[in-house]
Amino acid sequence: MKKKMSLLTVVLCTISFVCIAADKPSAAKQSRGKAVQRSVPAMPKMPKLDPKTWDFIPEVVATVGDKKITKEELVKTLTPQVRMLKATGRKIGEEQYKQMAVAMTNDLIKAKVLEELAANAGFKVTPEIEKQTYKKFCEKFKKQLPKGENITFEDIVKKQGLNIKDVKKQLAQAEVVQKWMKEKIEPSVKITKEDAKEFYEENKETFFKKPETVTASHILIKPVFEKDGKKIDKKKAWAEAKAKADKIYKEVKAGKDFAKLAKKNSDGPSSKNGGKLGSFQKGQMVPAFETECWELALEHAGVKGGFNEYGEVKTKFGWHIIDVTGYDPGGYVKLNDKLINQIEEQLKQEKTAEKIKKMVNDKIEELKPVVNLKVSEKSEKAE
């Protein structure tokens, strides 16, 4: 439910700062198994805010049916986000504070409406749900941490200066709303295989067309313009680079291992990977290099299913010995059962989001929320 489910983000708006903090260890998790373990990025020191910052906010910010959004609630939601921004060096002016307040008030109104819709369908927060949701979230957070890290989710919450009870309640509320969406709204949205096929045909050019690509490796020999503190003539430097490249090119043509030669001789960052550049499409490399790659690919592709020629070309970076190892003419992604199922799932998510959005807007129209937050016209445009 990640793509285009902005309404779910609305529900979680009050704990977005927590989600950011919880996501940070995931990058470290991806590096497990490598020789060097990454630590959880250090949380920046959270600056304090002058309470007068929020003097423009009234005690009752908005009334939504029989529920109220108070200044305390709005400030609690805004403060961690503002502190996080300020901790990264972001300067926030008076007008920006007002814009943020307006935007968050509207998000909180939608969140209140979503909570009410879920509650009316029997999906309410209970102490047990609150307990289980928090436990599950903490366990997930712990699994994201690299080995040896002992920081807890509660440590993150406390460092942000938040009330752990509020966070538990917010997590539980988000959980029940998601459960309501999953169990009551999604099943009512019907998407057929014909819908998926129609979407494929109408969007082939936009979403399902693969570009023509070449897969190549190279050995880069850069000209040396200075050695032992002495400058070298530009023409001479290029001539020496050419001579070295020619020598390596002959070795490659004679059948020596390209990857080993690249690791030993290449001046490019890909040398450590045996010169491998991966696959790329037109427009991603400098023109001369790209032209040589495409000529090699088109001239020599398909010879016993592989490639048997190498190329040598000069660019502004130096001389390149090129080994084209693959060619994909591109075209449309084949519409098979797997892709049909993926399209169905995406369309279902989008239609579900649209349905929920309409339900929320209809309910807002019915309740006619009263917003007491008075700011300039410029701030209101930030909604």
Quick one: pLDDT at residue 44? Answer: 57
pTM score, two decimals? 0.66
- Residues forming beta bridges with residue 313, ordered by sequence position: 320
Residue 42: partners with Cβ closer than 8 Å, 6 or more residues away = none
Nearest by Cα to 41 from 92, 90, 89, 88: 88
Domain 6-194+336-380 has CATH 3.30.70: no
Instruction: In whole angstroms, give the CA distance from residue 258 to residue 323.
Output: 8
Quick one: pLDDT at residue 146? Answer: 80
Quick one: pLDDT at residue 6? Answer: 38
* Averages of pLDDT over each 10 residues, the chain, 383 residues: 38 37 36 41 67 92 94 90 85 91 94 94 94 91 82 81 85 94 94 97 94 95 93 95 97 94 96 96 96 88 65 96 92 95 95 95 95 71 48
| Domain definitions of the chain by residue range | 6-194+336-380, 209-332
Contact 38, 28 (CB under 8 A): yes
> What is the SS3 string spanning the chain?
CCCCCHHHHHHHHHHHHHHHHHHHHHHHHHCCCCCCCCCCCCCCCCCCCCHHHHCCCCCEEEEECCEEEEHHHHHHHHHHHHHHHHHCCCCCCHHHHHHHHHHHHHHHHHHHHHHHHHHHCCCCCCHHHHHHHHHHHHHHHHHHCCCCCCCCHHHHHHHCCCCHHHHHHHHHHHHHHHHHHHHHHHHHCCCCHHHHHHHHHHCHHHHCEECCEEEEEEEEECCCCEECCEECCHHHHHHHHHHHHHHHHHHHHCCCCHHHHHHHHCCCHHHHHCCEEEEEECCCCCHHHHHHHHHHHHHHCCECCECCCEEEEEECCEEEEEEEEEEECCEECCCCHHHHHHHHHHHHHHHHHHHHHHHHHHHHHHHCCEECCCCCHHHHCCC
- Class (C level, CATH) for 209-332: alpha beta
Quick one: pLDDT at residue 314? Answer: 97
Nearest by Cα to 311 from 173, 179, 207, 216: 216
Quick one: pLDDT at residue 163? Answer: 82
Q: How many CB atoms lie within 10 A of CB 11?
A: 24
Quick one: pLDDT at residue 324? Answer: 92
Quick one: pLDDT at residue 85? Answer: 87
